[in-house]
Structure 1
Amino acid sequence: MFAAAEEGPAHPDISDVLRYLENSPVMLRALQEFISAMQQHEDMLLTRLTEAEGRLATYEGRNAQQNMEEGRDEEEMEEGPAPQEPEFNIEEAEWAPLPESDDEEEEWLAEAEWAPLPDDSEERPEVPVAPMEMSGVDEPEEAIREIVLRSRTITIPVPVTHATMAVAVPEVFHPADLGDLPDQFRKELEVPQVEPYTVARAEGNIAIVCGICDRQFETLKGWRIHASRKHKQDGFCARCGHNLLLPPEFTAAQRTAAVELHALDWCPRACAAVMDERQVKRRRLNLVGREEDAQYLFVPGEKIHRENKRTRLEYLSLPIPVLHPLSNEGGQAG
């Protein structure tokens, strides 16, 4: 094999390769099949390329023809004169002969009905308009500019004055007037022995000091919020400024519940919304015949028709019944 390779040409071509593969028919057949397959594939690609070029040329010619037709139509629409209706000559109509017979008269009327009417523009005489003379001086182009108008701030000099703001002094504590309350409600309230709050002044500053816990506040509103949240368990109502007379064995939760019921049902300084709700609730109780329950709702200006013998405090202090288990004898008897 090496001897044949040495004897072969310096640059072998395909014929040398085929001659060399004659001794191995399997490799020769494989090479021939590969070459024929590649030739078929190349022919197919050339055929498709030719078809694609033909289609592209057809599309380009069609688009060019459409563009030319559209341009021609636009030129005809721009340059072509508008269709005009036939002119109506008044003199000819005046000198036209009238129909002599009935048949001619019907034909003449039919033609007159279907004849086109003249336009208003044709009846009016045309006024010649002198052409505008173009001056040699070029006029400046006009431009629109948006201008935003704003209010101006004007500074006015004024004399300097050293004015001090007056500090609002909190009002002195006054408990609510119990004159309108029924006796059964007055007996359950007492004025606190210590003032609920005091006003302290120090170096021009004013502070509200709570009389129950000695906590300080900057405003009276702050003290009221604090008292309504923290001192309910002490039996104190921050709205009317009174203490509820509650049994000493009441727990903090019971005292808080009693103060909340007092604020909702019969506090004399309740807000307008609470007063309206009381009035509606009391009217409903009276309508259903529960006058005894309606007596525990205080509404200013309304009188209680009849008084119950027991006060609300007595109802709150009723003993709780204790249940005992049944004896064996009682169970056997049953």
Structure 2
Amino acid sequence: MIGFSSFQLIRYWLAHGILDQSRVHGNMELEDIRELYFKDLWARSFFQNVIDYDTFYIFDMHDLIHDLVQSVAQGEFFTVVKSANTKDISENVRHLTFLEDGQNVSTTLQKLNKVRTIVAWQTEIDESIMCTCFSRFKYLRVVCLPRCSLQVLSSSIGSLKHLRYLNLSMNKAITKIPNAICRLQSLQTLTLFGCENLEELPRDISKLISLKSLSLTTKQTSFTENGMGGLKSLQLLIIFKFSNLTSLPHETSYLASLRTLWIEQCKQLDLGNVNYQGTLLRLQKLCIINLPRMVVALPEWFQGAANTLQVLLIDTCENLEALPEWLASFTSLKKLVIGVRTTFPNPREGIV
């Protein structure tokens, strides 16, 4: 069995243009379309052992299905290891996975020019290799480099105008993201989850006009004006383990399209320290976990989601005394989860 999360899988679909919003589904929201696709494949037994974690699914793909996929896409996938035989590598390779770094990597890259996906998981990748990839593969759509001990991200990544998915999660040595990534006008997913030493977000992040999903950890105490708060296309926002953050963005533009908000382990964050009252929200899923500064009651501005909120999860908020009476007016609420859950899934395993 091979394990996956629905969040990552669906973001790959989006990055490679597999989910077509306009051709078949009319005016359906993309969030609803992706759920439709996933559940259809689930019903057809492509996925097994599916576990619903309120905002995403964890599931297995049977080895036979995995082997079938690789057979159908023969020649499009290649895994880079030190012992890999690169003599017979197909020029049609579109998806590269790095399991090891080695001397033959540069030789391998020189034979390819159609690569669309680069994945390295818990693999130390030399910065020069990434620079080569960014300069050679101009049509990259997915760059996934979690836990790769990255210290520096080359500014040459700003030339990848087709890039839609960038995952740098759990690279704890990285302190700065080059402002060049703000030139990525097609970027839909940016994951900086668990980058605990990242000083701040790039100054021009509001220029990422296509960004729909943002997961982040930084050391900043507040969000700058005309920064993250100006991301008008954002549908999912995860704010995780901000040790110094005291307030959400004061601009409300980022709330316009937001469907899922996940806030966890932000010891100084006061959710009431913003003037969002009267703002109409489209939130469907709201997760609040381990926020000691959320005192007594939920913020009043949550009432803006009274007609849309479907899932509300509150965990390890020790100072929360009671739920507000106005929660009874939430007509779309389907699931309410409250309490300390020691078995709660680590979001880095499923969400990012």
TM interval, shorter chain, is under 0.3
Question: When you count strand as a share of all residues, which structure comes out higher?
Answer: 2
Per the normalisation by structure 1, the TM-score is 0.22
The structure number with the bigger radius of gyration is: 1
Question: When you count helix as a share of all residues, which structure comes out higher?
Answer: 1
